[in-house]
Amino acid sequence: MSREYADGYLKGYEDGLREALEELIGNTCRKNFNSTEIQLLAKNQRSAVPKKLALRRRQMEREMGLDLDREEASPTRQEAGPGKTVLLKGEGNQEAMEAFRDLVQAGWDGLCISRMCPRDVRHFVGRDCTVLWLTKADPMAGDQDREEYLLPTETAKMQTSIRNFLTRNKGKPSVILLDGMTFIITNTDFRSFLKIAQKLKDDVYQAQSLLLLPYEPKNLAENEVHLLINEMS
């Protein structure tokens, strides 16, 4: 029995208790109980629902050998390690940025490719790291290093920057955060991005680096989501 099954079962169990309670109260009203008696009955029965649910939860925990109140380990913490590629749901993912920050602060070399401007990334991370800013902003109009600007169509430049980063840090702990999949795909196409990601996964494995790759399922077709997960997991 899986955690998902248990959660679904308990939700149905709770709904069933509440439905039975409402039916009981409805029948009571038809039996000419006065309003005070009905209120007392409803209060007592409603307060019993959480207790019954907690009792059933404890029973299932004993049967399954699980702690259903404990959150499962996040993919970043669970799977992260040298040579790994970790997919995380949700772009602009705070968990991914925090994991990147923690690793850089622990002494890993970091490359962040993001929709967030380099100044804000470094301020959040608190240490120096390599940043490429996915943007259509004019490099001549801003005060960022021009080499840090990256158009979503400049996939060759992105691949070269990643390759140079991996070569420079081969044999040393390093992490790459690529957060901007939708921005790249909408300016190129999914298949082109997937080919880049496939090669990047292999390069990261060979260099024993770590790749954090947030994605937004709602921005992809269902078959694209399955393909991405199959190829990058």
- Select from 178, 185, 188, 179 the least CA-distant residue to 220: 185
Residue 20 and residue 12 in contact, taking contact as beta carbons nearer than 8 Å:
no
pLDDT value, residue 142: 65
Tens digits of pLDDT across the chain (233 residues): 445 555 555 556 556 556 665 655 565 555 565 666 556 655 555 566 566 667 777 776 666 655 555 444 444 444 567 889 999 988 877 888 999 999 999 999 999 999 999 999 999 999 999 999 999 887 777 666 778 899 999 999 999 999 999 999 988 899 999 999 999 999 999 999 999 999 999 999 999 999 999 999 999 999 999 999 999 87
- Overall pTM > 0.75: no
pLDDT value, residue 95: 85
SS3 of 73, please? coil
pLDDT value, residue 77: 46
pLDDT value, residue 76: 45
Q: Whole-angstrom Cα distance, residue 18 to residue 35?
A: 20
- Select from 176, 188, 191, 181 the least CA-distant residue to 218: 181
What separation in angstroms does the CA of 100 have from each of 133, 185, 190?
Answer: 16, 23, 25
Helical packing angle, 222-232 and 190-207, nearest 10°: 10
Distance, first Cα to last Cα, the chain:
24
SS3 of 170, please? coil
Domains of the chain, first to last: 3-64 (no CATH), 75-232 (3.40.50.300)
DSSP 218: G
